[in-house]
Amino acid sequence: MDMNSTTDVRQGSVAHLLEGLATRRIDVIDLTTKLSHATPTLELPEPFANLIDFSLEEVSAYNEPGPYWKHHNIHTGEHIGTHLDAPVHWITGRGGKDVAQIEPGRLTGSALVLDVSEEAAANPDFLLDLHHIRQWEATFGPIPQGSWLLIRTGWEARAHDRQRFLNNDEKGPHSPGLTVECAQWIAEESPLSGIGVETVGIDAGAAAGQEPPFPAHHFLLANDKYGITSLQNLSKLPPIGAAIIVAPLPIVGGTGSPARVLAFVDT
């Protein structure tokens, strides 16, 4: 590398990012729900099988099995807490990518926040429709290629109360989601890499009754688009201008993975 190219690197975009982080001009916001045995998880009705909740199994703790260290075995399902859905998770994406095959570039991008928390507070079965996205675009401009649409519903306030978070009654679960038209547009026409939600899954609680059932899963995962769930702190992000990093475990054959999701925001 010659001197000119070295100077270019030092003055490049990465250098500006590192300087911004070091000087706190760029803040890092954790969008991840903490993972423990108490983290609310999806509850499917019979006869469907459910994943296990997250737990730790002690192997040693500075004792005879390991005098200088402490470590655990992890017991968990793939789709627990803040997690990413890979295409192979759904029948429509069964020939698609597993978690380990998703390109790193698809797991980063612009973070676009669409706030419908007032609508969801008034109606827990609220469905985001395409006209909501068009209204957002009219205010903030076109959706950038490879970006992530993060849907703020205020559901994060329920995350530490399993009953309120899942919001089940005799008719089933009630939580916000997408209309069929919106899910299909995101999957087939939008430049998005994926969506992020504050709820337990990327579909509405009552999505089994939509046609097709669970349209976000049905359309997004069939079209190599991704979903992340159980997000926190979306209120700390601007509608545009933030960047997101989604970091799932690269599980070979994995249909999903718990993920750490971080956002970079100008202070």
- Active-site position among 79, 83, 89, 132: 89
At 247, list the tokens: 């970091």
The whole-angstrom separation of Cα 118 and Cα 97 is 36
* Residue 89 appears among annotated catalytic residues: yes
SS (H, E, C) the chain: CCHHHHHHHHCCHHHHHHHHHHCCCEEEEECECCCCCCCCCCCCCCCCCCCCCCEEEEEEEEECCEEEEEEEEEECCCCCCCEEECHHHCHHHCCCCCHHHCCHHHHEEEEEEEECHHHHHHCCCCEECHHHHHHHHHHHCCCCCCCEEEEECCHHHHCCCHHHHHCEECCEECCCEECHHHHHHHHHCCCCCEEECCCCCCCCCCHHHCCCCCHHHHHHHHHCCEEECCECCHHHCCCCCEEEEEEECCCCCCCEEEEEEEEEEEC
Buried b (16+ CB within 10 A) or exposed e, 142-181: ebeeebbbbbbbbbbebbeebeebbbeeeeebbbbbbbbe
Catalytic residues: 89
